């Protein structure tokens, strides 16, 4: 971690929702998802919010030696977003507790607030993390 990793870091990330990030694409193996409307899937929304948090703090850690993994998410999904709309995630680092990072997150699709909440990430040493995964597979 660098000395610049402190609460108050803000980041805005934009993404145009493609058809490949809609509910039918979430689990194409699941017939139940395939027949659902083509709107942004909550699962992909969560990933988008995580992506914004990663981009916010990567300049403040020893990337790629240090990385972060999501450990908790508590967000709403308040409005449907069809493909073609641009979504904007706004994230703010609100707490640094050792290697635990806490973010306030929000997303908007240009028409509606689509999500708001809180997300936690944990700073890992990539090599040690991969080694532990290897042990788990054994």
12 annotated active-site: no
Residue 137 reports pLDDT greater than 90? no
> Are residues 46 and 73 in contact, defined by beta-carbon separation less than 8 angstroms?
yes
pLDDT at 138: 79
Mean pLDDT of 123-135: 95
Sheet bearing 113-125, strands edge to edge: 10-16, 86-97, 100-108, 113-125, 66-75
* Active-site residue, from 13, 22, 68, 77: 77
Over residues 82-116, the pLDDT tens digits come to 999 999 999 999 999 999 999 999 999 999 999 99
Structural domains in the chain, CATH included, are 10-137 (3.10.129.10)
For residue 102, the cross-strand partners are 95, 120
Over residues 69-82, the pLDDT tens digits come to 999 999 999 999 99
Q: Rg for the chain (alpha carbons), in Å? A: 16
* Active-site residue, from 50, 66, 106, 120: 50
72 annotated active-site: no
């Amino acid at each position: 971690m660098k000395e610049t990793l402190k609460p108050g870091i803000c980041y805005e990330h934009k993404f145009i929702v493609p058809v490949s990030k809609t509910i039918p694409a979430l689990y194409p193996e699941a017939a139940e998802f395939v027949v659902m409307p083509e709107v942004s899937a909550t699962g992909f929304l969560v990933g988008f919010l995580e992506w914004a948090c990663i981009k916010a703090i990567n300049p403040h850690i020893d990337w790629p030696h240090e990385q972060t993994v999501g450990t908790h998410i508590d967000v709403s999904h308040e409005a449907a977003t069809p493909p073609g709309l641009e979504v904007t995630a706004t994230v703010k680092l609100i707490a640094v507790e050792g290697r635990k990072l806490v973010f306030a997150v929000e997303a908007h699709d240009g028409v509606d607030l689509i999500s708001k909440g809180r997300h936690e990430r944990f700073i890992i040493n990539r090599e040690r993390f991969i080694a532990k995964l290897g042990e788990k597979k054994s």
